[in-house]
Structure 1
Amino acid sequence: MHFFEREIGGRRYRLAAQSVWDSELGRPTSRQAVLGPAGPPPTVDLGETRTVGTRAVGDVGALVWVAEQLDLVGHINRACAGQGAKGGPSIGEMVLAVALQRVCAPGAKRDLAEFLDECIPRASCLRASTFTGQAFHRLAKSVNERELEVAQVALARAAVARFKLSTDVLAFDTTNFDTHIATTTPGELARRGHAKSKRSDLRVVGLGLLVSETGHVPLLYRTYAGNGSDQGVLDSCLEGLGELHDALDEAEGRKRPASRTVVRDGGFWSPQLELNLEVVGYYSVISLPLSHNAGETALAFAAGRGAMKKLAGKLTDVRAARTRGMVGDLDRTLVVVESKELLEGQKRGIAAAVVKATAELEKLQRLAESGRISRSSLEHRVKKALRREHLSTFVVVEVGGTDQAPTFAWHVDADRRQHLEQTRLGRRVLCTDQHSWTTERIVHAFRGQWNVEELFRRAKKGGIAPWGPSFQRADGSLRLHTFATVVGLMLVSLVKIALRTTDSVRTMMDSLADIRATLVRTTTGGMGRRPTVALAPELTTGQRRAVKIFELERWMPALASCMATRARPDEPS
């Protein structure tokens, strides 16, 4: 936006102006909005002053600043061609407004206009009343998944170029979100599947994210049906991955194509997918399932004397064993990594499972001794009791006798349990085609997978930019709502990078949210309407730095008076 002053009716006012492309007219359209009087505040009687509310400045202003650095509205409007701005917000303005709401005050689209009215920084020069739920749904019906993917790639290119992101290693993962859409409501996205919330009574919508190694910045996303498979999601992203690869090379100014690596967990293993990733220009790091033949072979190798060795650098507390072999028909480097934290967590889980299984097995033993259970029923209940992970490995069960008079005996084999802990628990098998990488680099790259999990935590209920509550029903609305949520996550990550803070994202956003204007209504003793004045808050050192970086004083000039710090008594004035 462009800020300037103009004299209207003998008084000077501050205005903001912007230019938006109008697809119907085939030319840009200029918009202006009055931000308030530019003159000095009036002399008032403090005894007649009353507080009438507050307005958001810091958090919204920081997000708007990042959006301007990316030209977010322009990129989205150009990708979603044909979505004009005549009479209402463009698709880019609507996405930005919804993203701001998801981050700062998650709520329904019917509350969007009220949220925008309570913010001093503006997402558009249009009146807030034009940002309605009906306008959102109309725009959602007119855009498709391909256009949103093109917009996301353009935003990723802009983010890498402007904020110098490292994109050599990218992490991919999926999650899903609960909806409360009725079973009879038609739609392809909201489906019953394996819900991460463990609820089986709700339809869910899936989200796949590709995230940069540094900064937790989403670079590519995909909304998919809740009953879709993880492999199918990544496979459907291959075209977008190829475009992203070229776009990132362009943003980084590379003369030769970069060698980028996609990190993912064991749910995405597929030989064909490995080959497809190689075709579009990506290497791969994946955690193989321990039940995989190659995983079993690698674990057996790691169990040998002296195979597990301590790593160097920052990973001195980690032990790993490295080998090379065939995974199906593919030549891969395999690294078995030992994690003490994972080991302790699995041991606690097994201990709790043993307590439950012991109670059930003792009950079955009493039933067998009294002849009150058949052998077929006994075998079924034993199998059910030991189906928890690893229990069948060291709990030895003997079922004999006839169907009418079964015999039953069981015990926990301590040696088998100890062998399990020494050779299998707390270990992961990493598989990669980056043969030239050191073991430390492979382990460090895989640990970047938590970047995606961190973003998913922010997108869950109670997070920084939660996907829910969502009141969308149509597929188009669900898709655009998810896109706006991902844009919100991207803006928050880039705010943290721009601020260069070591605080958590929650602490950072809370600190920015505390930069609020207090509205007071007072009297000058003269005729006319009582003026309302926005008072700046007292700022901390970190908040003053944020005001300077994100240029918040352009929205609220009174913040400039808070930037000067008082000199200490022992310092010269």
Structure 2
Amino acid sequence: MHIFEREVNGHRYRIAAQSVWDAERGRSVARQVVLGPAEPPPLADLRATHTVGTRGVGDVRALIWVAEQLDLVAHIDRACGGVGAKGGPSVGELAVAVAIQRACAPGPKRELGEFLDTSLPRLSCLPGSAFSGQAFHRVAQQVTEHQLEQAQVAVAKAAVARFELSADVLAFDTTNFDTHIDTQTPGELARRGHAKSKRKDLRVVGLGVLVSETGHVPLLYRTYPGNGSDQAVLAACLGGLAQLHEALDSGEARARPAQRTLVRDGGFWSPQLELDLDTAGYYSLISLPLGHKAAEEALQMAAQRGAMKPLSGKLSEVQAARIRTTVGELDRTLVVVESQELLAGQKRGIAAALRKAKVELRTLEGLIQKGRISRSRLELRVNKALAREHLSSFVVTTFAGSETAPTLHWHVDAALRRELEKTRLGRRVLCTDRHTWTTGRIVYAFRGQWKVEELFRKANKGGVVPWGPSHQWADGSLRLHTFATVLGLMLVSLAKIAPGTDASARQTMESLAEIKVTLVRTTTGGAGRRPTLMLAQELTTEQRRAVKVFELERWAPQLFHV
């Protein structure tokens, strides 16, 4: 967006202009919109002055600034072949507009135009009414999954190059979101599966995201049917991972290919997937399931006296043990990590689960005394009561009696509980083929995977860029909506990086949202239309820094003099 001044009929006005590519005409088309007078404000009679509203500046402008730095709209439009409403916004403009709306004022697509009109900075010279829900859904049915994938890779390359992101370590994880799609509505994405929200009455859409180590910026994502498996999702990403690998090398201007590492949790373990990642050019770092044979051997080694040793530097509170062994037929380094925070959380979970299990076991004892339960039913309910939080490993149960007159004896074995806390609780087993890395580097790299979970919390309802509640009814709309949501997460993450402060993403967006201008209408006592002026507020030190970084004075010159 280019802003300049022009004189019309003896008065100067500020004008915004943009150039967009018209695929039908095969040439660029210019758009212009008048922002307002550029002349000094006239003297006003304060007695005849009143406010007529406010306009947001900070949060929307910050995200538009990031989008401009990445040339986001152009990258998306090129990847999607110029798809867009005739005479209206392109797919890139729509996607970025929805992304900014999700980050600043989450709401339905029918409110998108109104949201854009209530903000002083403009994403496009088109009026807000052009950004309608109907335009979004029409465009969504034209865009293919392959085009959105190409757009992701191009945007990731631009983000790494412009903001100098370190992408040598990439973390991957998955989640899913509830939809409100009726069971009879056709579609491939919304399926009934294991919902993270614990609801069983809604169809869900899966989302897998790959983020950078620095800034935790989303670089690649996949939507998948809600009943799909985690391993299948990552396997389906391998093609995109290979393209991303090459694009990041290009974005970082590397002469030789980088040695990148993919970090993920135990739900993605598969020997074949390990080999496939190696073929795609990635090293692997994963948290093995504790029930895995290699993990159990590593835990036994770590339980020996003196095996666990404290790390140095920022990880001095962490203890770890290391061993190089074979996992199946793969040569791997295993690191057992002890986390006091994880241990405390698991102890709380065990205590809560044990209280519930004791209530259930005493209830079963009462049913036995009354002769109202069979032995097979008794065993089933006991196993179910002890299935959570390692309870079966230290709650000892003994069944006896006949099918019609069973008996049950149980007790909590304190020695077994202490052994569990000593050998398993609070511990993770990390598995990697990065044999040359130090133990501290392996542990630090895995901690980045937790940031993906934080990213998902931002995308859940009430988060910084919520995915839902979503009322999309077709696969195309779901894909474009998810693309815009992840795009919003990227914009927020980069907007957090740009000022160079220690504030969180939520704190950054809240501070930016407070930067507004008040519109006042006054009279000069002369003939003509009453002018509307903008008054700036008092700014904090952080907000003044944001004014400079995000160039807010382009849209509200008054802020520069506050």
Q: For residues 453 and 440 of structure 2, what CA distance do their matches in structure 1 show? A: 21
In 1, the alpha carbon distance for the partners of 2:370 and 2:152 equals 67
* Native 8 Å contact 1:23 1:84 kept in 2: no
Separation (CA, whole Å) in 2 of partners of 1:91 and 1:369: 69
Aligned to 1:567: none
Cα contact 1:153–1:243 (8 A) shared by 2: yes
Describe the SS at the equivalent of 2:53: strand
Q: CA deviation at 1:85?
A: 6.3
AA of the residue aligned to 2:206: G
Whether contact under 8 Å (1:56, 1:517) holds in the other structure is: yes
Query: d(CA) in 1 for partners of 2:82 and 2:54?
Result: 38
> Is 367-376 or 285-294 further displaced after alignment?
367-376
| DSSP 3-state at the match of 1:24 | coil
Larger mean CA deviation between 354-363 and 499-508 belongs to 354-363
Deviation, 1:365, is: 2.4
Aligned residue in 2 for 1:350: 350
Query: What one-letter code is carried by the residue in structure 2 that aligns with 1:542?
Result: E
Q: Specify the SS of the correspondent of 1:190.
A: coil
In 1: Cα distance, 2:240 partner to 2:372 partner? 61
> Equivalents in 2 of 1:54, 1:98: separation in Å?
22
- Which SS does the other structure have where 2:60 is aligned? helix
Shift of 1:538: 1.3
Matches for 1:122-271 after TM superposition, within 5 Å = 122-271=122-271
Corresponding residue number in structure 2 for 1:485 = 485
State how far apart, in whole Å, the 1-side matches of 2:455 and 2:545 are. 26
Cα distance between partner residues in 2 of 1:420 and 1:109 = 52
> In 1, are the aligned partners of 2:85 and 2:139 still within 8 Å (CA)?
no
- The normalised TM-score by structure 2 is 0.98
Q: Distance in 2 between matches of 1:474 and 1:534?
A: 43
Change (3 A) 1:548 1:82: closer
TM-score (norm 1): 0.96
Residue 289 of structure 1 aligns with which residue?
289
Aligned counterpart, 2:445: 445
Aligned residues between the structures: 562
Following superposition, the deviation at residue 512 of structure 1 comes to 0.8
Partner of 2:378: 378
Q: Is the 8 A contact 1:397 1:410 kept in 2?
A: yes
For 1:449 and 1:418, locate their aligned partners in 2 and report how far apart those are by CA, in whole Å.
29
What secondary structure does 1:39 align onto?
coil
Partner of 1:279: 279
Distance 1:400 1:558 in 2: 83
Contact 2:178 2:197 in 1 (8 A): yes
Aligned mates of 2:297, 2:26 — CA distance in 1: 64
* Structural RMSD (CA): 1.1
Deviation of the 1:362 alpha carbon: 2.1
Question: 1: distance between equivalents of 2:363 and 2:109?
Answer: 55
> Is the Cα–Cα contact under 8 Å of residues 16 and 35 in structure 2 kept in the other structure?
yes
Letter in 2 for 1:372: R
Deviation at 1:181? 1.1
Q: 1:372 deviation in Å? A: 3.4
1:232-272 residue CA offsets vs partner (Å, 9 max, x unmatched) = 11111111100110111111111110000010000111111
- 1:364 is displaced (CA, Å) by 2.1
**Aligned-residue offset at 1:534:** 1.3
1:24–1:84 Cα contact (<8 Å) kept:
no
Cα drift, residue 370 of structure 1:
4.2
Partner of 1:420: 420
Q: Deviations over 1:131-178 (max 9, x none)?
A: 101110111011011111111111111111111101111100011111
Q: CA deviation at 1:84?
A: 4.9
Between the aligned partners of 1:371 and 1:464, the Cα distance in structure 2 is 55
**Contact (CA 8 Å) 1:106, 1:469: kept in 2 or not?**
no
Paired residues of 1:19 and 1:28 also in contact (CA < 8 A) = yes
Percent identical: 72
Instruction: Name structure 1 gaps, 5 residues minimum.
Output: 563-573
- Aligned residue number for residue 322 of structure 2: 322
- Distance in 2 of aligned mates of 1:34 and 1:97: 20
* Separation in 2, partners of 1:368, 1:551: 75
1:324, distance to aligned residue in structure 2 (A): 1.3
Instruction: Name the counterpart of 1:568.
Output: none
User: C-alpha separation between the residues in 2 aligned to 1:230 and 1:511?
Assistant: 37
Give the Cα separation in 2 of the matches to 1:367 and 1:113.
63
Structure 2 match to 1:394: 394
> Gaps (5+ residues) in structure 2?
none
* Matching of residues 528-547 of structure 1 within 5 Å: 528-547=528-547
| 4+ residue segments displaced more than 3 Å | 369-372
Measure, in 2, the Cα distance between the counterparts of 1:355 and 1:311. Answer: 36
